[in-house]
Homo-oligomer: A and B are copies of this chain.
Amino acid sequence: MAQKELHLKVTLRLYSDDDQRCFGPGIATLLQRVREHHSLRAGAASMEMAYSKAWRIIRTAEEVFGCKLLVSSTGGVHGGGAVLTPEAVRLVDAYEAYTADVTAYAQARFDEAFGFFASDSAPEA
C-alpha cells in the first residue's frame, strides 16, 4: 500500500488545568535560544518569533509554573541580557528528556501500528 517510507513527529504540549497551553516545542526552543544568546530579544529573533509573542509565552508559563523562568543579566530582560533561572533549565531539560523518551517508545511501536502499509498489496490509485 505505502509507496514511500513514512516517518513520525511526536509533539508533546502541556496545558494548565484551565486549558492554557503552557509548555511545548515553541517555548522549549525559545528557552534554548535565550540560553545561547543570553537575551530574550536575540533568542526570539533567532527563531523568527516576534518579541511580543516570546514575552507572552514566557509570562504565561511563569504564571502556570509559579516561578520565574528568566532573570535579567545586563540591564533588564527587556532589551538587556537574560539568563535562564535554575527552574527554567530544569524544565527544558525535563521536557527534552521526556520528549526523547516518548518519541523512542512511539518509534518502537510505529512499525507494528502502520507496518501493513508497507505490504506488497498493489496500490489502488
Contact = CB atoms under 8 A, between A and B. Distances in A.
A91 to B, nearest CB: 7
Number of copies: 2
**Majority-rule SS of A interface residues:** mixed
A53 interface: no
Interface string A1-39: 111111111111111111000100000000000000000
A114 interface: yes
Contacts of A124: 66-68, 85, 87
Given A5-B17, A105-B105, A124-B85, A94 B113 contact: yes
Contact of A1 (B8, B11, B87): B87
B9 A13 contact: yes
A102 interface: yes
11 contacts: A3-B64, A4-B64, A6-B16, A9-B12, A10-B10, A11-B13, A66-B124, A97-B113, A98-B109, A101-B109, A102-B102
